[in-house]
């Protein structure tokens, strides 16, 4: 049983991690495309229009990859997680069906119109199609995170005698206190990814001395959007998410922050340290006293319960994984703020385009927002374990009893091989679009 559960979780973790590489770019990028198109309508400067069309090609490629890698996950609800689907389908089926029916169709329909309908529609209607693509992609994120928030903090449900969850308050799904902070945090993080990608391509063009006009535009737009979104990820959105965890999942909060023992007179914030699960402590830690209590409760001496206060049965199943995922996310987020701040200062000093070291830094930073987003989601998912629906349904009780671990491992290996090929194809196609660059001479 443990083997089966391990492979079920591994398969879902792999497929969803690979899948989310694509939506995290498209959600943020859709807003930046709307911005470029809006700037064109206001200034009638052609480069803004060409920038919007160029980035929509990248968006469309990411969108196609997101669709291809998203479909297998839907099937896993019926194969590996049939028990979970049977018990909770009456609730999560609502939001997932709405995501497919409304957001996905809105996004895909108007994406086609944006890509191919500019001459037919005229610029104002073309802008509207871009705005509707943005609306569809952000609505999609909202409905997915509404599903996820219900699993983290279940509301508006009742449990029937046969163990099935049914919804008795539809409005509660969307007024869940977990939903809005998580959604805004996720969307700001998505905007960080797209800002870094846009800035990196701009830096690439300037360092290679080609498409210089677009290089400057992408770099300027990327660093300004990047600084704003990096700050929003930390505060207020990240702060609100952390407070939600402290309030509703205190055992998760203790594991995330590496607090094994309850401390008298306020909790320290750990900057560096390695969880030692045998001795129930952090090795080689560097910490600042009382800061965590203040950040969480605005009280220097507030008590934060350690893991020792909670029954071992409800401890997160992978405390080191949770701790490291959280600290990688926070560490990278801090670096992003610092780098974007330096870049914006140089921009206002009119020195950014010539500051080679910042351009190189921005170009090589492309993978790191993806890592930060992934570790952020790992923090949320590892933090909820050992529950599928927090405090109500254990992960072990949601797996399909009839799918063998051998079957799951075999299909996992198949996914790894297939996704490797898809990833290489994506990089090749994206590379071709970027290398060709935006064109101004077709007018």
Residue 2 pLDDT greater than 80, yes or no:
no
Q: What helix, strand, coil percent values describe the chain, rounded to 5?
A: 75, 5, 20
- Over the stretch 342-388, which tens digit does the pLDDT of each residue have? 999 999 999 999 999 999 999 999 999 999 999 999 999 999 999 99
Give the phi and the psi of residue 167 in degrees, each rounded to 5.
-85, 125
Residue 298: other Cβ atoms inside 10 A: 8
Q: For residues 149 and 240, what is the distance between their CA atoms, to the nearest angstrom?
A: 14
The residues that bridge with 158 in the sheet, in sequence order, are 166
Q: What is the pLDDT of residue 1?
A: 57
Q: What is the pLDDT of residue 218?
A: 97
Q: How confident is the model at residue 441 (pLDDT cuts 50, 70, 90)?
A: low
Write the CA distances from 147 to 92, 249, 334, integer angstroms.
Answer: 6, 17, 29
Task: State the chain's mean pLDDT as an integer.
Answer: 93
- Over the stretch 302-317, which tens digit does the pLDDT of each residue have? 889 999 999 999 999 9
Pairing relationship of beta strands 387-389 and 269-276 according to DSSP bridges = unpaired
Instruction: Give 81: exposed, middle or buried? Use CB within 10 Å, 0-12, 13-18, 19+.
Output: buried
User: Is residue 182 within 8 Å of residue 145, measured between CB atoms?
Assistant: yes
Sign, CA torsion 287/289/294/297? positive
- Report the SS3 class of residue 87: helix
Q: To 10 degrees, what angle do helices 179-207 and 367-384 make?
A: 160
- Report the SS3 class of residue 169: coil
- Over the stretch 167-205, which tens digit does the pLDDT of each residue have? 999 999 999 999 999 999 999 999 999 999 999 999 999
Q: What is the pLDDT of residue 264?
A: 79
**CA neighbor of 296 nearest in space, from 323, 256, 260, 334:** 256
Query: In sequence order, which ranges of 354-404 are alpha helices (DSSP H)?
Result: 356-364, 367-384
394, containing H or E segment: strand 393-394
The string of DSSP letters for 219-280 reads: HHHHHHHHHHHHHHIIIIIIHHHHHHHHHH-HHHHHHHHT--SPPTT-PPEEEEEEEETTTT
Q: For residues 292 and 403, what is the distance between their CA atoms, to the nearest angstrom?
A: 44
Sign, CA torsion 205/211/217/221? negative
Q: Is the pTM higher than 0.85?
A: yes
- More confident of the two residues 367 and 278: 367
113-117, 263-267, 331-335, 365-369: which range is least confident on average? 263-267
State how far Cα 440 lies from the chain centre.
Answer: 34
Q: For residues 33 and 59, what is the distance between their CA atoms, to the nearest angstrom?
A: 9
- Over the stretch 104-157, which tens digit does the pLDDT of each residue have? 888 988 999 999 988 899 999 999 999 999 999 999 999 999 999 999 999 999
User: Is residue 31 within 8 Å of residue 221, measured between CB atoms?
Assistant: no
- Over the stretch 23-66, which tens digit does the pLDDT of each residue have? 999 999 999 999 999 999 999 999 999 999 999 999 999 999 99
Stretch 2-17: mean pLDDT, rounded?
91
State the maximum Cα–Cα separation within the chain, in Å, rounded to a whole number. 70
User: Is residue 7 within 8 Å of residue 408, measured between CB atoms?
Assistant: yes
- Over the stretch 216-233, which tens digit does the pLDDT of each residue have? 999 999 999 999 999 999
On the CB side of 59, how many CA atoms lie within 13 Å of its CA?
27
Residue 443 pLDDT greater than 60, yes or no:
no
Before 171, cis peptide (omega within 30)?
no
């Amino acid at each position: 049983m443990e083997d089966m559960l391990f492979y079920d979780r591994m398969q879902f973790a792999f497929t969803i991690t690979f899948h989310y590489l694509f939506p995290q770019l498209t959600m943020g990028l859709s807003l930046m495309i709307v911005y470029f198109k809006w700037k064109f309508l206001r200034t009638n400067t052609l480069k803004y229009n060409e920038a919007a069309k160029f980035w929509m090609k990248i968006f469309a490629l990411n969108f196609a990859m997101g669709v291809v890698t998203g479909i297998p996950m839907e099937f896993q609800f019926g194969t590996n997680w049939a028990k979970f689907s049977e018990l909770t389908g009456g609730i999560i089926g609502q939001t997932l069906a709405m995501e497919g029916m409304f957001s996905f169709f809105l996004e895909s329909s108007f994406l086609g119109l944006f890509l191919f309908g500019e001459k037919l529609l005229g610029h104002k209607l073309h802008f509207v199609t871009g705005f509707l693509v943005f609306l569809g992609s952000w609505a999609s994120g909202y409905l997915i995170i509404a599903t996820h928030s219900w699993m983290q903090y279940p509301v508006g449900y009742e449990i029937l005698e046969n163990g099935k969850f049914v919804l008795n308050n539809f409005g509660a799904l969307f007024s869940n206190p977990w939903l809005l902070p998580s959604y805004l945090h996720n969307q700001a993080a998505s905007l960080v990814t797209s800002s870094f990608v846009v800035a990196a391509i701009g830096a690439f063009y300037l360092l290679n001395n080609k498409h210089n006009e677009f290089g400057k535009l992408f770099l300027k737009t990327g660093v300004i959007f990047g600084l704003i979104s990096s700050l929003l990820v930390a505060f207020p959105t990240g702060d609100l998410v952390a407070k939600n965890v402290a309030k509703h999942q205190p055992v998760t909060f203790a594991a995330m922050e590496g607090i094994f023992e309850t401390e008298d007179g306020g909790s320290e914030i750990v900057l560096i340290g390695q969880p030692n699960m045998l001795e129930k402590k952090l090795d080689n830690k560097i910490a600042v006293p009382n800061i965590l209590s203040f950040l969480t409760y605005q009280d220097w001496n507030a008590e934060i319960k350690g893991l020792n206060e909670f029954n071992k049965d409800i401890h997160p199943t992978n405390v080191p994984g949770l701790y490291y995922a959280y600290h990688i996310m926070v560490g990278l987020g801090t670096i992003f703020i610092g780098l974007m701040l330096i870049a914006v200062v140089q921009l206002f000093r009119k020195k950014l385009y010539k500051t080679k070291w910042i351009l190189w830094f921005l170009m090589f930073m492309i993978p790191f927002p993806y890592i930060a987003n992934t570790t952020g989601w790992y923090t949320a998912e590892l933090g909820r374990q050992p529950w599928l629906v927090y405090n109500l349904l254990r992960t072990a009780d949601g797996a399909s009893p009839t799918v063998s671990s051998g079957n799951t491992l075999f299909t996992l290996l198949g996914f790894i091989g297939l996704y490797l090929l898809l990833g290489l194809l994506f990089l090749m196609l994206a590379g071709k679009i970027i290398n060709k660059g935006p064109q101004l001479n077709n007018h």
